A and B are shown apart, each in its own frame.
Chain A
Amino acid sequence: MAKDFELATFWSRRLGQRERNIIFILALGFDPRMCDGVSVLATAGGKGQRDAVLIEFNEGPDSPSHALRALVEENRDKLNKVLAGRGLISHKSLKVLDTDGRRVEAVNAARLFLSIAEFSKYDDIVLDVSAMPRGIYLPIVAKLLYLRDEARRANATAPLPSFHVLVSENVQLDSRIRQEGVEESAQFIHGFSGGAQQEASANIPCIWMPLLGEGQGAQFRIIQDFVKPNEVLPVLPSPARNPRRADDLVIEYREILFDSLRLDPRNFIFAHERNPFEVYRGLSAVIARYRRSLKPLGGARFVLTALSSKLMSLGPLLAAYELKPENIVGLAHVASHGYLLEPAKPDETPKALSEMFGLWLAGEYYE
């Protein structure tokens, strides 16, 4: 994992070694960070094709996000300029709502890419999740990892592309993006129900590990109702840039945690705010420990939820992906009907505060 200057250096070196064809996958949205990742790579130099797959959401006529159309078009122009003369932009449409009004973005996101052969001419796949909602990027990351792993298992002779994820973090900007109309019920990210939904295993205890984030109380409640956990282990961001952040979150969630759930304070788990690999390691260790302890009683089921930043949310995904064959870890999530971008405060300088993180999830580094 690298960020900002280190990330730029990493890509400069990597692209300078030999000619590399890269495909970016990014979503067209209103988020001003949408093109940050592409820009980093576009300025990193090197030879080779720089193509992009632009995912365009179809959120239906009632989405509040339509109010942000001007920003979306601004981002589209910016992307065209960044990639002008360097590569081709192809488009994939993602249907968010079914004809009966149900949200189907997660299952449709997992269907966007069907085979690793789609990437045969590329050396690197770079997925920028900065302008994507969780319900979309989590299934895409999982599907791309799966397609790559399947190809490896099938002993594919052709070299497989490396897979990277970019995420631009900006706490101030994130706090201005407000979810509008949270869905009534939660769902498991497609591919990650982890046996948590099976009636046959309903007597096996369910452990829920939500990564807490600011202003997500309603979502917490909805997912709790959905998961119906026997034990809750809230994950707090610590270490964090703001050392008081974990305390502030406990205060914000105190009513739910202590009055409603009657949580034992020893149940808190602490995970690094800015290192998803640390989060993954921490969650995996807890899962392993619970499995060991509860094995004599028939085992345990686990559900992970990211109510935190996008960067941290990759930790639960990696933990769930690793244990997918065992069908014991689910990823629960609740979508919203759309987003609103509150105006910036006069003293706010969003660009300056954005930090670009890059994660190398699969490729020669691990093989």
Chain B
Amino acid sequence: MRESRNPFRLRASESIEMDALFVKLFGPGVLELLKGATPLEGIHFLRSAPGGGKTTLLRMFTPGPLLHLHAQRTQEDFRDLWKGMKELGSLDDNGSTLLGISLSCEHTYATLADMEADPATQRRLFFALLDSRVVLAGLRAALTLGRREFPRDLGLIRLVETNGVTPPPGITLPCNGNELFSWARETEEFICRAVDSFNGLAECPIRGSDTLSCLSWFRASSIQMDGQPVAQRLLVMLDDVHKLAPKQREDLRAALTSSRTSTGVWLAERLQALSTDELLAEGAIAGRDYQRVIRLEKFWQEYPRRFEQFVFNIADLRARQTPGREMQDFRSCLETTLDDVEWNSTFERAKNVVRERVLARSGGRGLFQQWIEDRERLTGTPRQLALAWRTLEILVERELRRSQPAFDFSLDADELAEKDDSNLQTAAELFLAKEFNVPYYFGPSVLAKLASANIEQFLTVAGDQFEDLIANRLLKPGELLAIPPGRQEEIIRKASRAWWQQIPARVPQGQEVYRLLSAIAEFAHGYTHQPTAPNDPGVNGVAITMADRDRLMNQDYHRLHPSHARLAKLLAAALAHNLLHAQHDYKCKGKLFMVLNLNRLLCVEHLLPLEYGKFKEKTLDELAGWLERRPTQKQFVVD
């Protein structure tokens, strides 16, 4: 296989075949997700939108990467990962203590549900197939963990009885790995052949069972090699659970909940698996029946600094993989300042234009005299001065538009300093960016924010930036590898546009979802870019009351209000694909709200701020109406 030209394009879980490279590129920060729980025991759900990093996390707990990490534990590069994995109890100084079995639910199961058979037969065959595959993957994992070869050394494995549980027909305990493998292979073969034949399930001789029976007899203590259990713990990681038919998913959840197994079970699934109600209620019902539900994006949203650290750690690991490029730190390649000579003339012009406007708007009135004098006295870079005048312009507008104008006594400079906070400055930066075409979206922190807590989204945009670095190296050999702010923004804007354009193709009912999100973005743009900068630094979403949210989850209400039912479906689709972020039970003015913020990469195309927290309330009728017509200017309420 050829070396990767741009390692940001590799997807850790699937495209990186070598365990050594996988472990090298694995960002240990993701283990934070599992802290505070006993992740190797009980049933855990891992949920995210596509590209959240579930499969990558699962792979780290399989024997290959665990063995490699153990071998490299003394190396500086692996220290954090080793420490994290050890704390979770998957490794100790003697080696791996965990037999991790990773299994995708992608193949055959859903087709099995489509076959013509009674529900009981379907259910039994579903569990029989799952049982057989857990055993097959478990035998392979056990041999890998014991550094033996599959299938040659299957005879070295013994499965013994440990708790008096009767195994399914065809297996007599104790038995060796070959016997177990034959049983599982035949079971799988019969079911797959029946599913794949044009004659249906009638030809399948397997009876199956009503539950995931292997959890009771295929246990850590009963799988032995050289007379010893192969590991202290067994962890079954079922990936792509969203690809099961809904009934199968339901049966699996019920079987696991009632199993009281000592084996740890992880179920990784995309948010699409959840119903509209579940998606709209996410957060409210999580953790009801299970040990823990881990929402990957939600976790990172709560800890943005950790996320930034985590993704730049991944970025650095990848940047180092590029052959012939002396780059240790991807972050430092992203320039962060506009106080460079290149932008001085633009900011000087901006300052002059804004200053003239402020003077004209204040009309020589004494009200703003001290504020203007304060700005006239100010020293700093042209950017700082332009920004100071632009914040003043917003404040002047606010004073002039107050319903009860102040007397013409001069407003003092302390009041100006008090009002001139970071939110106002961010709004002013955004306004300057729009009016004078200066970059707004650049720098490492912005790049991390633009990921909207999704790893794949980060790698997509960071990969685009890295592409530029590769090109620069060729075009400007010997020069310091760096991307100036203007170019960063150009790349980010292109990525944002592409993200929007992909919505109709990627998302169910994509055209309608696109229309709804575009309307929200247009509304947010109109609202944010008002002269008074209400809700500074601006909004990038809307909110509905929790009471309205409850209505969207009520089937009887749907029947009476079909346009709201349609809205509920579209909101759920957008939430499932990480295009909207929901914050539930947000308290404001004595009411509870569900805040719906746009994915930050989508904000760029409409020149919106990236900060979450500010919103404008909307009714269900208004939102549903936007599906038919764009928001009108009248709806951008001026403070």
Which A residue's beta carbon lies closest to that of B576? A184
Residues of A within 8 A of B9 (CB): 255, 259-260
Instruction: Tell me, yes or no, whether A46 is within 8 Å of chain B by CB.
Output: no
Instruction: Tell me, yes or no, whether A2 is within 8 Å of chain B by CB.
Output: no
Given A200-B184, A200-B185; A187-B506 close (CB under 8 Å):
no
Residues of B within 8 A of A184 (CB): 50, 242, 270, 272
Tell me the complex Cα distance, A108–B115, Å: 9
Within 8 Å by CB of B509, from A102, A258, A337, lies A337
Residues of B within 8 A of A353 (CB): none
Tell me the complex Cα distance, A199–B105, Å: 11
Q: How far is the CB of A282 from chain B (nearest CB, A)?
A: 24
Within 8 Å by CB of B114, from A98, A143, A218, A264, lies A98
Total interface residues on B, using CB and 8 Å? 60
Given A259-B9, A264-B1; A110-B272 close (CB under 8 Å):
no
Residues of A within 8 A of B196 (CB): 188, 190-194, 327
At the interface with chain A, which of B133-141, B473-481, B519-527, B608-616?
B133-141
Within 8 Å by CB of B108, from A197, A226, A337, lies A197
Which B residue's beta carbon lies closest to that of A147? B198
CB contact list, A104-121 vs B, under 8 A? 104, 107-108, 110-111
Instruction: Tell me, yes or no, whether A155 is within 8 Å of chain B by CB.
Output: no
Which B residue's beta carbon lies closest to that of A228? B14
CB contact list, A173-210 vs B, under 8 A? 179-182, 184-185, 187-188, 190-200, 202-203
Residues of B within 8 A of A188 (CB): 107, 111, 196
Given A98-B114, A262-B2; A199-B509 close (CB under 8 Å):
no
Tell me the complex Cα distance, A200–B178, Å: 12
User: Is the Cβ of B14 less than 8 Å from the Cβ of A225?
Assistant: yes
Tell me the complex Cα distance, A187–B108, Å: 9
Residues of A within 8 A of B111 (CB): 107, 187-188, 190, 193
Given A200-B185, A200-B189; A260-B15 close (CB under 8 Å):
yes
CB contact list, B188-235 vs A, under 8 A? 188-189, 192-193, 195-198
Q: How far is the CB of B367 from chain A (nearest CB, A)?
A: 56
Tell me the complex Cα distance, A202–B141, Å: 12
User: Is the Cβ of B103 less than 8 Å from the Cβ of A199?
Assistant: yes
User: Is the Cβ of A107 less than 8 Å from the Cβ of B115?
Assistant: yes
Residues of B within 8 A of A156 (CB): none
As a 0/1 sequence over residues 440 to 467 of chain B, the CB contacts with chain A under 8 angstroms (1 = contact) are 0000000000000000000000010000
Q: How far is the CB of A286 from chain B (nearest CB, A)?
A: 19
User: Is the Cβ of A200 less than 8 Å from the Cβ of B136?
Assistant: yes
Given A193-B192, A260-B11; A104-B114 close (CB under 8 Å):
yes
Given A200-B184, A260-B9; A193-B509 close (CB under 8 Å):
no
Tell me the complex Cα distance, A192–B505, Å: 26
Q: How far is the CB of A16 from chain B (nearest CB, A)?
A: 36
As a 0/1 sequence over residues 99 to 133 of chain B, the CB contacts with chain A under 8 angstroms (1 = contact) are 00001001110110111100000000000000011
Within 8 Å by CB of B132, from A111, A196, A199, lies A199
User: Is the Cβ of B4 less than 8 Å from the Cβ of A259?
Assistant: yes
Instruction: Tell me, yes or no, whether A263 is within 8 Å of chain B by CB.
Output: yes
Residues of A within 8 A of B272 (CB): 184
Residues of A within 8 A of B185 (CB): 200
Instruction: Tell me, yes or no, whether A326 is within 8 Å of chain B by CB.
Output: no
Tell me the complex Cα distance, A190–B197, Å: 8
Q: How far is the CB of B143 from chain A (nearest CB, A)?
A: 10
Instruction: Tell me, yes or no, whether A171 is within 8 Å of chain B by CB.
Output: no
Instruction: Tell me, yes or no, whether B416 is within 8 Å of chain A by CB.
Output: no
Q: How far is the CB of A320 from chain B (nearest CB, A)?
A: 11
Instruction: Tell me, yes or no, whether A146 is within 8 Å of chain B by CB.
Output: yes
CB contact list, B1-51 vs A, under 8 A? 1-6, 9-11, 14-15, 17, 50
Given A203-B151, A218-B505; A263-B2 close (CB under 8 Å):
yes
At the interface with chain A, which of B243-251, B350-358, B482-490?
B243-251
Tell me the complex Cα distance, A340–B505, Å: 11
Q: How far is the CB of A263 from chain B (nearest CB, A)?
A: 7
Instruction: Tell me, yes or no, whether B502 is within 8 Å of chain A by CB.
Output: yes
Q: How far is the CB of B189 from chain A (nearest CB, A)?
A: 7
Q: How far is the CB of A95 from chain B (nearest CB, A)?
A: 11
Instruction: Tell me, yes or no, whether B436 is within 8 Å of chain A by CB.
Output: no
Residues of A within 8 A of B569 (CB): 62
Given A184-B50, A260-B9; A191-B14 close (CB under 8 Å):
no
Residues of B within 8 A of A258 (CB): 2, 5
- 5 A-B pairs whose Cβ atoms sit less than 8 Å apart in the complex: A102-B246, A184-B272, A198-B189, A200-B136, A228-B14
Q: Which 3 A-B pairs have the closest CB atoms?
A: A197-B107, A259-B9, A200-B185
- On A, residues with C-beta under 8 Å from B are 62, 64, 98, 100, 102, 104, 107-108, 110-111, 143, 146-147, 179-182, 184-185, 187-188, 190-200, 202-203, 218, 224-226, 228, 230, 255, 258-264, 327, 336-337, 340
A sample of 6 more A-B contacts (CB under 8 A), given A181-B508, A181-B509, A190-B196, is A184-B242, A196-B107, A259-B5, A262-B15, A327-B193, A336-B505
- On B, residues with C-beta under 8 Å from A are 1-6, 9-11, 14-15, 17, 50, 103, 106-108, 110-111, 113-116, 132-133, 136-137, 140, 150-151, 181, 184-185, 188-189, 192-193, 195-198, 240, 242-243, 245-247, 270, 272, 463, 502, 504-511, 569
